[in-house]
Chain A
């Protein structure tokens, strides 16, 4: 039996070796904003634990190098990531001088490089396995449980990012709520307006170009400018229209951010609805007419289900984009995870930036996985219907 070398494994191995030996694993700072002292993996992990991690990672790199079934690569990658998660928490406890409450331990470049390398290995294994949608959702669920487990246990309590969290856990969850409300609320209202508008554009081709060009123009206005431009009109509405202020409409804050995200969301939803409806096969429409369906029945029972994967793709684009853009709402007092990002930039406290950035990335990633699974499921339905 000959051993064959996996080319991607070579790349991952080189990245991981760099992370293990050429970069520092953790950094010990005298307080939350000062520059710190870089520590290598063996310096960060006392005694045998450092060597243990080193050997485990080397063994998993070896698995990545030779061609083995994708399942064992996935198990190896997950084991490596879990070991890294444990090790960084352990290192935080070991590096912090006893009794010193100002000292901070953060993951350093080497840790992030290693996480990147093994996440790459996991992504490759999952791509090769081509898991069905429900299994991808299961993976995501297990991943979410693990993250919750880290929070619930004291595993990372010594890390700087968790100390930033501990000081503002209440604010964190209220900003998280605002972030999700902004991103999903604007998406839902864009669907309420965008879907009928898309259907209308499909039925009346003469207005299609005008509507799409107008929505395209809105997309060219940079987000921070659109937030700012909306402050004026919304302040006017709040002072001049009775009841508006009571509904929470203000010049600054959540209202302009919500309206801006809503406006940005319209184009992908309307455009994809138009494209999806245009892609419905003529035969399907003819058959529906032939069996005497009314226009409305045809729309709901034939056209929309067939166009659903394309419409959902538009919704995926919007949701991922909105979760990212909602961070910018913090600049105009709209709240969200951006609050921590911009406070952190202002104080040059990078762990505070991480406290805002990591949940944003995780949220965007999770919604992409969920919607990708939904898209695949919705495009499988019509096929099953025709083969049955």
Chain B
């Protein structure tokens, strides 16, 4: 291996490891970073978020995104399977245009409009994240299921597999890397969108940012934003590694 390849592989890995260590250190012991953030605030203002534990809020943030993504994955994959079977083929063109139309709904609008139906708190955020998460996963699953290599499909048919066996043993395993790619995209969108949920009283990191905006405290805004950003980068990379591993296993790469 040439030195440049070594550098291009190991430097990003080291940086990510460093990011993870800094993030964990900050969440477990935010006080030790106080002197770093102190210059950003007025002399008497707190530099570290003081209306709740940052670790708890981060975990709640992750839980909200996780729940919404799991629900979105189940529904989106089932829908994509349905519209690619002969029975559901009639729904295929419409489902494509619905995916397109759905993406034009702004997150704030979805959040605000679901409040009258489900009340304030975590629920409207879950609904908005669920709807936003659906689209990339559905789109990717659809692309994967409709672009499977023809020879493989014919071989599966020729070997006498039933349509359910073909789906479970051939189509889904081959589509898995692309489906994970969709999940990856929807998690990253969800992590950022969840912060907006705090405008309707959901417990997410948006709370820290909004508290900072209201009290003119740049340190709060910065720590809330950077935690979400770091989470997004780390999770995006981790799921990228999962995607690459699945692609290798499926023999696609």
Contact = CB atoms under 8 A, between A and B. Distances in A.
Interface of A: 6-8, 109, 120, 123-124, 126-128, 217, 219-229, 231-232, 320, 323-325, 327-328, 331-332, 338, 341-342, 344-345, 350, 353-354, 356-357, 360-361, 364-365, 368, 372
B196 A127 contact: no
A6 B98 CA distance: 18
Interface in B87-124: 88, 90-91, 93-94, 96-98, 100-101, 103-109, 112-113, 115-117
Contacts of A8: 90-91, 94
Given A220-B191, A222-B191, 13 more contacts: A109-B117, A120-B98, A217-B229, A220-B188, A220-B192, A225-B195, A324-B108, A328-B196, A357-B108, A357-B113, A360-B108, A360-B109, A368-B100
B210 to A, nearest CB: 7
Interface stretch (B73-81, B136-144, B219-227): B219-227
Nearest to A325: B106
B232 interface: yes
Contacts of A345: 112, 115, 199-200
Contacts of B106: 323-325, 327, 357, 360-361, 364
5 closest Cβ contacts across the A-B interface? A225-B225, A324-B106, A228-B221, A220-B232, A357-B109
B233 interface: yes
Interface of B: 40, 88, 90-91, 93-94, 96-98, 100-101, 103-109, 112-113, 115-117, 188, 191-193, 195-196, 199-200, 205-206, 209-210, 212-213, 218, 221-222, 224-226, 228-229, 232-233, 236
Given A220-B233, A331-B213, A229 B222 contact: yes
Contacts of A227: 213
Contacts of B97: 123, 126-127
A360 B104 CA distance: 9
A126 B96 CA distance: 12
A16 to B, nearest CB: 16
A221 to B, nearest CB: 5
A234 to B, nearest CB: 12
Nearest to A366: B104
Given A327-B108, A361-B104, A364-B106, A217 B115 contact: no
23 contacts: A6-B90, A7-B91, A8-B94, A120-B94, A120-B98, A127-B93, A128-B93, A220-B191, A220-B229, A220-B233, A222-B193, A222-B205, A222-B206, A222-B229, A225-B225, A225-B228, A228-B213, A324-B107, A341-B108, A356-B112, A364-B104, A368-B100, A372-B100
A331 B111 CA distance: 15
A222 B229 CA distance: 7
Specify which of A127, A225, A226, A357 lies most central, judged by the most chain B CB atoms within 10 Å of its CB: A225
Contacts of A324: 105-109
Central interface residue in B117, B209, B210, by most chain A CB within 10 Å: B209
Contacts of B199: 331, 342, 345
A220 B228 contact: yes
Contacts of A344: 112
B218 A231 contact: yes
Contacts of A222: 191-193, 195-196, 205-206, 209, 224-225, 228-229
Contacts of A331: 199, 210, 213
Nearest to A333: B213
B196 A7 contact: no
B44 to A, nearest CB: 18
A7 B206 CA distance: 43
Contacts of B196: 222-224, 328
Nearest to A121: B94
Nearest to A348: B115
Contacts of A360: 106, 108-109
Contacts of B205: 222
A7 B109 contact: no
A109 B116 CA distance: 10
A221 B212 CA distance: 15
A327 B209 CA distance: 17
Given A327-B109, A353-B113, A320 B103 contact: yes
A160 to B, nearest CB: 12
A217 B12 CA distance: 13
A308 to B, nearest CB: 20
Nearest to A317: B103
A254 to B, nearest CB: 15
Given A224-B206, A225-B225, A226-B225, A341 B104 contact: no
A228 B212 contact: yes
B222 A341 contact: no
A327 B110 CA distance: 12
A236 to B, nearest CB: 11
Contacts of B88: 7
Contacts of B226: 221, 225
Given A222-B228, A224-B195, A224-B210, A354 B104 contact: no
Contacts of B188: 220
Contacts of B109: 324, 327, 341, 357, 360-361
